[in-house]
């Protein structure tokens, strides 16, 4: 069996740090907006949602990509598609031709809070003030599973830098047929996405055109005995750049005003909204929205919103269709 290594979340990552709040123009509080997204009964679709425009900014299959590559500034983070329950293990060897065995490696997944230091590929690069270089370690990637739970196999991969871009070398584990591919950093995007079958794929909207990602993702749960175990959940992740949120369980939704945002400590961790706004009622066999879970969201546009979920089913009774309402404060 592969060995799973849990991540410790530092206190620093639990809260977003804003050195100075950005000023926004004076404005009136908005009207109640209603929205919904279609993840589907198998949660096979990822949906990017823009609060400012109250619209779906982009959507696609959870199997449409494997890796994402950061493009912003000096960020060289490479991430797995955690919607597919993907893992990767570092061989700490630079010999690409060897076949790797998952049972001998620490197979890691990317922590759902989003810290770059808690990603499976966090050791691929050495970065100093004036230079960067790859360790050239060969990783084994478990490509996870599709929406029906079918395994997608293993790939081995090696990362390099190519000027301002990424260079990857990969092959199916045990195969002598290998591919080299250059990943170009796009300054308009926070991330670009790559598929082992399709190459570069157009998955996400541009960086400033979305607020929330509705998706499956991998996280660490805890048993009643206190043991950690990884699990696929269905929920919401924040846009990692400029969006922050906090849970408000004190006020009634209708009573929350802009002044209430000053007493809440907003967090930039990706899974601060997460999945616990719903629970499964085993007796009734349905998902139920947890009452009183209201969120304050500070979007990239600098405005604050109060936000709550109202349903998880569509008009025909199918699960996987989160519905919500929100108001610009």
d(CA 28, CA 22) in angstroms, rounded, equals 17
How many other C-beta atoms lie within 10 A of the C-beta of residue 6? 15
Position 81 in a domain: yes
Which residues in the chain come in under a pLDDT of 70?
1-29
Q: Which two tokens stand for residue 8?
A: 């410790």
Q: Find, among 181, 114, 109, the residue nearest to 139 by Cα.
A: 109
Contact 216, 197 (CB under 8 A): no
Q: What's the pLDDT at 17?
A: 38
* Among candidate residues 130, 164, 196, the one where a domain is terminated: 196
Residues 91 and 118 in one domain: yes
Residues 56 and 77 in one domain: no
Residues 274 and 228 in one domain: yes
Position 202 in a domain: no
Q: What's the pLDDT at 72?
A: 87
Q: Show Cβ contacts of residue 299 under 8 Å, excluding neighbours closer than 6 positions.
A: 51, 52, 211, 242, 243, 305
d(CA 84, CA 25) in angstroms, rounded, equals 41
Position 201 in a domain: no
Classify residue 10 by its DSSP letter: P
Q: What's the pLDDT at 12?
A: 34
Position 166 in a domain: yes
* Among candidate residues 196, 221, 252, the one where a domain is terminated: 196
pTM for the full predicted model: 0.89
3-state secondary structure of 30: coil
Q: With the C-alpha atoms ordered 14, 114, 76, 209, is the resulting torsion angle positive or negative?
A: negative
Residues 261 and 302 in one domain: yes
Residues 57 and 146 in one domain: no
Residues 57 and 74 in one domain: no
Q: Find, among 244, 319, 298, 251, the residue nearest to 43 by Cα.
A: 319
Residues 191 and 72 in one domain: yes
Residues 71 and 192 in one domain: yes
Residues 84 and 52 in one domain: no
Residues 77 and 139 in one domain: yes
d(CA 188, CA 72) in angstroms, rounded, equals 9
Q: What's the pLDDT at 29?
A: 66
Q: What's the pLDDT at 7?
A: 41
* Among candidate residues 169, 196, 223, the one where a domain is terminated: 196
Residues 78 and 9 in one domain: no
Residues 264 and 323 in one domain: yes
Q: Which two tokens stand for residue 114?
A: 């989003």
Q: How many domains does the chain have?
A: 2
Q: Find, among 209, 212, 274, the residue nearest to 9 by Cα.
A: 274
Q: 305 is in which domain, residue-wise? A: 3-61+207-328
Q: What's the pLDDT at 130?
A: 84
Q: Find, among 72, 63, 157, 79, the residue nearest to 115 by Cα.
A: 79
Q: How far is CA 206 from the centre of its chain?
A: 16
Q: What's the pLDDT at 13?
A: 36
Contact 269, 7 (CB under 8 A): no
């Amino acid at each position: 069996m592969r060995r799973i290594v849990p991540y410790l979340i530092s206190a620093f990552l639990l809260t977003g740090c804003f050195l100075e709040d950005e000023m926004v123009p004076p404005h009136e509080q908005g009207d109640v907006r209603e929205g919904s997204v279609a993840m589907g009964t198998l949660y096979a679709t990822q949906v990017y949602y823009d609060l400012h425009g109250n619209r779906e900014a982009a959507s696609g299959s959870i199997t449409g990509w494997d890796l994402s590559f950061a493009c912003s500034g000096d960020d060289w983070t490479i991430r797995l598609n955690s919607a597919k329950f993907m893992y990767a293990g570092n061989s700490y060897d630079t010999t690409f031709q060897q076949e790797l065995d998952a049972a001998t490696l620490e197979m890691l997944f990317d922590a759902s809070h989003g810290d770059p230091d808690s990603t499976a590929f966090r050791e691929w690069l050495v970065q100093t003030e004036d230079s960067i270089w790859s360790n050239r370690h060969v990783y084994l990637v478990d490509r996870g599973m599709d929406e029906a739970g079918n395994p997608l196999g293993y790939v081995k991969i090696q990362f390099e830098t190519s000027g301002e871009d990424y260079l990857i070398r990969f092959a199916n584990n045990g195969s002598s047929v290998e591919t080299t591919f250059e990943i170009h950093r796009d300054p308009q995007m926070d991330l670009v996405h790559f598929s082992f079958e399709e190459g570069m794929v157009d998955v996400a909207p541009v960086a400033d055109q979305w607020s929330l990602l509705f998706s499956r993702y991998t996280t660490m749960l805890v048993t009643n005995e206190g043991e950690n175990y990884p699990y696929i959940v269905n929920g919401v992740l924040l846009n990692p750049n400029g969006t922050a949120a906090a849970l408000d369980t004190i006020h009634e939704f209708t009573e929350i005003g802009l002044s209430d945002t000053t007493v809440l400590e907003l967090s930039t961790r990706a899974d601060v909204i997460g999945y616990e706004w719903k629970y499964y009622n085993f007796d009734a066999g349905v998902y139920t929205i947890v009452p009183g879970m209201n969120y304050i969201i500070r979007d990239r546009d600098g405005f604050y919103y109060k936000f709550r979920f109202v349903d998880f089913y569509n008009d025909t009774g199918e699960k996987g269709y989160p519905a919500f309402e929100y108001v610009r404060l």
